[in-house]
Chain A
Amino acid sequence: MTWSVTARGAHQPDNTAFTQQRLPAWQPLLSAGITLPLFFCAGLAFIGLGLGLYYTSNGIKELEYDYTGTSGTGNCSACAAAAEGRAPPPSCQCAWYFSLSEFFQGPVFLYYELSNFYQNYRRYVVSRDNAQLSGLPSALRQPINECAPYQFSAAGLPIAPCGAIANSLFNDSFSLWHQRQAGGLYVEVPLDRTGIAWWSDYHVKFRNPPLVNGSLALAFQGTAPPPNWHRPVYELSPDPNNTGFINQDFVVWMRTAALPTFRKLYARIRQGNYSAGLPPGAYRVSITYNYPVGAFGGQKRIIFSSISWMGGRNPFLGIAYLVVGSLCILMGFVMLVVYIRYQDQNDDEADEE
């Protein structure tokens, strides 16, 4: 029987590089010689980046004040004591006085922060009706079942906006006053309450239902506000561009936070004399204490923060890069020692011959 290398059988498989597994390949070997440059380069790059990030973050200033009032001291503890055990809690006024010794570089953002508030709880996260919030007239009076028990009011009217997220809307308010001279008058610092929500949220996701006879109140006729609200949704603000479902505080609140301690943007200080920052002097924050957090052991804070390209103050990123870069360099040195030692060992054994 003869066998010829040139004859091709009928069932012979393809002789391509792919089918015969002859594709040209790079075959790296994970040994000291390959990984050493990798570790050192990565380590140096990370350390450089980490230093830059850390110093950028250090330049960002923050100022915060816990106004929960549960500790018994401070101005707002009276409000906290008054709010205990009474639902809805009575509206209360308190204030925070502070002074800046140096210029607080702008743009300055004002946040409120809540802790021990699980906005990421699953039943809470699903408790909303997005069709209703997008202004669909058909969905306005038929809230979905996930909103229960905040779906229909006690009188049987559909709740707009429905759901637990809307019901727990944060309703404290703040105003900032600046005393230019000691003992002088307090002048209000204008707080820009617009532009605090995502552009896409404000313009696309949240729309008011179509006006009826030019009136938003008539558009919401036949619906009821959520149980915890003092006023209906169309009266959230006198500004017609900021009331109803497109009220920016409401939109910011509906973006459920990721972690139990979170902050949300309240206002930006960027108007008038304060657009460049807060000048030194005495300040007062007047707080309208409405939101009860004592029942779940939460805390409330107010935060002033300047903003950079990497957002607020975030030293962790710089530290993480520094740590990983140092680890890379350390591992690189270990590999270098191993490499040199085994190189020497091979050389010594060769010399013995």
Chain B
Amino acid sequence: MASDFAVPRFRYLERLLIVHGHWCYSRLANMVLYFFYKNTMFVGLLFWFQFYCGFSASAMIDQWYLIFFNLLFSSLPQLVTGVLDKDVPADVLLAQPQLYQSGQNREEYRPRAFWTNMADAAFQSLVCFFIPYLVSWHLSGHLVCCVRGPQTQDTTVFQAYYDSDVDIFTWGTPITAIALLTFLLHLGVETKTWTWLNWIACGFSILLFFIVALIYNSSCATCYPPSNPYWTMQTLMGDPVFYLTCIIAPVAALLPRLFIKALQGTLFPTQLQLGRQLAKRSPKKPNIPKDIFAQGQLPQEQRSSSSSEAPSQDGTSQASVSLEKVVVSREHGLVPLSMLPMRTPSQEDSLLKGLHSQALRPFMPEEAAQERRPQDSEMKHSSTSGTASLPPIFNLPNLSSLNWISSLSLVSGLGSVLQFSQSSLQVDKQDDEFLPSPPQPACELRALRGQTAKSF
């Protein structure tokens, strides 16, 4: 992985590292897992067939589909996801640099994640093989009906299954289609950002598969030994069982993954998922009633307030304000249920005092002091100085109320920030240093310097 970057301004380093670095890691980890899954699952289909072809290395999938599958049919959607997928939006990443630690701790690509992925691939290949198999299998009569002699027989006896007069490649082509649909559905479960490019890539892949299959199956009746799939796809597309199998198999294959991911996202969300949920909830700011603003937390007042104010006092009032804001926003918000337990003010006080006892990283505020005054610099410095005190809380590994408390401090910080910001982090609010909010450009450099000097 290339790691030589040139940035024209030093302040771009923050975005490069915290936003793009994190995205790069996340995309890389997820795409590597997806590639391994895709190939394992596809080969798994061929593997299960060996049990039914006398272990003769016969493949029920046409050789041209085997060649073109990874190249043509399933390459574009994963390319789009690997390039454009953003697991957490940029503003949340910049506001919560602790989230960068998911990359430092290699949280998204661990041996356990890899082997779980492989197990899922094996399960999906089982489902995608055996559903078409059982649809085409003939259970020859073991049961009541089979007449062994000149006996009369009741016609309503039936054990036999579907007419397995299907030939190899007419049976293998639905399996190929099912594999493609399963891959796309799996990618859909994994993709966290759906742009129009994603939709187009998925639709294009499916369309391309059918078009290539139709063209391939109508050219030259004898040119492609041994499969010679002449008119196979055309026949299949007129068969309702083909479509029914193509619907049931990918859904059955993806059910466990979808279910487990949904449960995990609700019950045991990771830090990144919490960040994502927060980003989803942030547009709820218009619902917050005005009287909360009247409690004296307006940016103009804050900006002029001296930084020598007792931080804990501000923090308490801040937290109480944000408690109500959180309550209001939660009434209007939907998804992140696990995020918002309420705390008692005394708990908050002790927490905030603990926050301020943390030593800040020494070199960052110095650079903050030395930097000039373009807008982004303040944003960066205040956020780094402000959030440097949060990491210890935010890093709590296990799910507990403490985890939710830290997320609440995240909420309390963000809630006061995001209610004023529109889409970027150019927030005009000057809060205490533990709030990850950038101050108003230009004017606050002096105040910022005072702050950072104070925090040493």
Contact = CB atoms under 8 A, between A and B. Distances in A.
B335 A34 contact: yes
Interface in A22-56: 23-35, 39, 42, 46, 49, 53
B241 A73 contact: no
B134 A261 contact: no
Given A311-B241, A339-B266, A349-B342, A324 B252 contact: yes
Given A130-B225, A338-B267, A259 B241 contact: no
A53 B248 CA distance: 13
B140 to A, nearest CB: 6
A120 B161 contact: no
Nearest to B340: A346
B160 A35 contact: no
B337 A343 contact: yes
B153 A74 contact: no
Interface string A86-121: 000000000111111110100001010101001111
A61 B226 contact: no
A23 B149 CA distance: 73
Interface residues of B, number: 99
Interface stretch (B69-77, B256-264, B361-369, B414-422): B256-264
B359 interface: no
Interface in B302-323: 323
Contacts of B164: 257-259, 261-263
Contacts of B79: none
A299 interface: yes
A342 B266 contact: yes
B248 to A, nearest CB: 5
A352 interface: yes
Given A32-B337, A53-B244, A256-B168, A315 B57 contact: no
Given A66-B141, A126-B226, A130-B225, A35 B172 contact: no
B320 to A, nearest CB: 10
A221 interface: no
Given A102-B156, A204-B221, A313-B158, A346 B266 contact: no
A105 to B, nearest CB: 10
Given A27-B192, A265-B165, A122 B58 contact: yes
Interface string A320-346: 110010011001001100110011011
A313 B161 contact: yes
B276 A27 contact: yes
B146 A64 contact: yes
Nearest to B281: A29
Contacts of B280: 27, 29
Given A73-B148, A346-B340, A316 B134 contact: yes
Interface in B383-419: none
B364 to A, nearest CB: 22
Contacts of B244: 49, 53, 310, 317, 321
B141 to A, nearest CB: 5
B262 A335 contact: yes
Contacts of A74: 148-149
Given A263-B138, A324-B251, A339-B266, A305 B225 contact: no
B226 A30 contact: no
A276 interface: no
A121 B265 contact: no
A328 B374 CA distance: 54
B222 A134 contact: yes
Given A23-B84, A258-B171, A339 B140 contact: no
Interface string B118-153: 000000000000010111111011000111111111
A61 B145 CA distance: 12
A314 B58 contact: no
Interface stretch (B194-202, B206-214, B425-433): B194-202
Contacts of A32: 262, 266, 337
B165 A111 contact: yes
Contacts of A1: 372
A210 interface: no
A209 to B, nearest CB: 14
Nearest to A340: B337
Contacts of A235: none
Contacts of B292: none
A118 B54 contact: yes
A104 B265 contact: no
Nearest to B89: A27
Contact of B323 (A104, A309, A353): A353
A175 to B, nearest CB: 17
Interface in A189-205: 198, 200-201, 204-205
Interface string B158-175: 111111111110111000
A130 B222 contact: yes
A248 to B, nearest CB: 13
Given A23-B196, A258-B60, A320-B248, A346 B148 contact: no
Contacts of A73: 148-149
A15 interface: no
B295 interface: no
A301 B147 CA distance: 11
Contacts of B146: 64-66
B56 interface: yes
Contacts of B136: 258-259
Nearest to B234: A200
Nearest to B8: A9
A230 interface: no
A256 B169 CA distance: 9
Nearest to A98: B153
B354 interface: no
B150 A97 contact: yes
Given A63-B145, A130-B222, A324-B255, A301 B140 contact: yes
Contact of B338 (A125, A342, A353): A342
Task: Pick the most buried of A73, A263, A327: most chain B CB atoms within 10 A of its CB.
Answer: A263
Contacts of B261: 30
Contacts of B8: 9
A93 B116 CA distance: 59
Contacts of A205: 221-222, 228, 230
B16 interface: no
Given A258-B136, A311-B163, A320-B252, A198 B58 contact: no
A99 B165 contact: no
A305 B141 contact: no
A75 B149 contact: yes
Contacts of B265: 29-31
A39 B254 CA distance: 12
Nearest to B168: A258
A153 to B, nearest CB: 22
A298 to B, nearest CB: 11
A317 B147 contact: no
Contacts of A134: 221-222
Contact of A321 (B58, B162, B230, B248): B248
A115 B150 CA distance: 23
B270 interface: no
Nearest to A109: B163
Given A66-B147, A201-B230, A260-B54, 10 more contacts: A46-B251, A98-B152, A134-B221, A205-B228, A255-B167, A309-B240, A313-B163, A317-B248, A334-B259, A338-B266
